């Protein structure tokens, strides 16, 4: 396990109060050389301009967040989702990242059929994965915590994510390991080993777990070290599985967003450093 910031990547959402140029500048000042970006702020700034900005600054884009939302039943909605995901692949390629993170989508209105929704994800991947490979982009299915199963992501465990990913070559489809979503799962270490053995750990993200959860449970992802998750243990599992890539810190947290973004970025880098000393 190396310490310091060599492996650290700041996910843009953690400091979404910073504009893209502010983020790039703050990274340069702090010696942060990697960032995970989100589609919406990139589109807002302009895709080509954003690509030039990070390239000129020497900032490596570790992931683009996010594609997915594949669970619609309606054919038109499904076609629109696929078209949007092809654009996400194009954007990832333009930004120079090889990894598009996928959040699969929840149950369609009125449906109670998780199994069928998961199968529709596989159908969508069969169309999207070859397109992504042709553009040099790997898809990284992210299992989300089971509390999101109905409305955001019917893929709730690494085992489920791998069951989907393994229908495709590892160079096309792998998984995102995010501590916030899997920390409770005693099966996750074995699934990390399964993913690593097949070269399917395409992204590794950190956030800490604190309670009480806020209404809607979206923006309670806590700063590293503030919560219940043993970050060293999870990093050890991922590295024992052969992962040597970037480690993104991705926090959704109203408290952090209300503060000065540069200060939050510096704190996050410091917490990362201290978590692995």
Binding mask 214-233 for a second copy (x = CB under 8 A): xxxx---------xxxx--x
Could you give phi then psi for residue 33, rounded to 5 degrees?
-105, 0
Binding mask 104-133 for a second copy (x = CB under 8 A): ---x---xxxxx--x---------------
Which residues are CB-neighbours of 270 under 8 A, at least 6 positions away?
none
Nearer to a second copy among residue 57 and residue 193 (C-beta) = 193
Burial of 243 (0-12, 13-18, 19+ CB in 10 A): buried
Question: Is the separation of the CB atoms in 11 and 205 below 8 Å?
Answer: yes
Going from the C-alpha of 32 to that of each of 193, 226, 273, the distances in angstroms are: 29, 22, 12
2 binds a second copy (CB under 8 A): no
190 binds a second copy (CB under 8 A): no
Rounded to a whole number of angstroms, the minimum distance from the CB of residue 212 to a second copy is 4
Nearer to a second copy among residue 148 and residue 204 (C-beta) = 148
User: Coil, strand or helix: which one is 77?
Assistant: helix
Question: Is the separation of the CB atoms in 82 and 127 below 8 Å?
Answer: yes
Residues 228 to 267 in contact with a second copy, rule: CB under 8 A? 228-230, 233
Rounded to a whole number of angstroms, the minimum distance from the CB of residue 255 to a second copy is 14
The full DSSP string for 92-111 is HHHHT-SEEEEE-B-PPTT-
Rounded to a whole number of angstroms, the minimum distance from the CB of residue 122 to a second copy is 14
Binding residues for a second copy, per CB under 8 A? Answer: 107, 111-115, 118, 145-147, 149-151, 156-157, 159-160, 183-187, 209-217, 227-230, 233
């Amino acid at each position: 396990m190396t310490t310091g910031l060599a492996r650290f990547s700041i996910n843009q959402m953690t400091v979404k109060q910073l504009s893209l140029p502010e983020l790039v500048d703050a990274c340069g000042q702090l010696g942060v050389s990697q960032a995970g970006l989100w589609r919406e702020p990139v589109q807002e700034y302009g895709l080509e301009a954003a690509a030039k900005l990070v390239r000129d600054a020497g900032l490596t884009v570790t992931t683009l967040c996010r594609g997915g939302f594949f669970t619609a039943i309606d054919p038109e909605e499904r076609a629109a989702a696929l078209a949007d995901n092809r654009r996400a692949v194009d954007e990832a390629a333009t930004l120079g990242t090889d990894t598009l993170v996928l959040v699969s989508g929840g149950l369609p209105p009125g449906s109670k059929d998780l199994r069928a929704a998961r199968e529709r994800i596989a159908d969508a991947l069969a169309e999207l994965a070859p397109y992504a490979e042709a553009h040099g982009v790997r898809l990284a299915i992210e299992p989300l915590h089971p509390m999101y199963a109905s409305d955001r992501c019917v893929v709730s465990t690494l085992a489920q994510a791998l069951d989907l990913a393994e229908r495709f070559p590892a160079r096309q489809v792998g998984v995102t390991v995010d501590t916030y979503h899997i920390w409770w799962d005693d099966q996750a270490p074995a699934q990390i080993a399964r993913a690593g053995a097949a070269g399917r750990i395409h992204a590794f993200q950190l956030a800490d777990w604190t309670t009480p959860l806020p209404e809607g449970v979206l923006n309670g992802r806590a700063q590293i070290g503030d919560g219940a998750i043993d970050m060293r243990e999870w990093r050890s599992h991922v590295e024992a599985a052969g992962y040597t890539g970037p480690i993104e810190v991705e926090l959704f947290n109203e408290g952090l967003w209300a503060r000065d973004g540069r200060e939050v970025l510096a704190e996050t880098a410091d917490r990362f450093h201290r978590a692995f000393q």
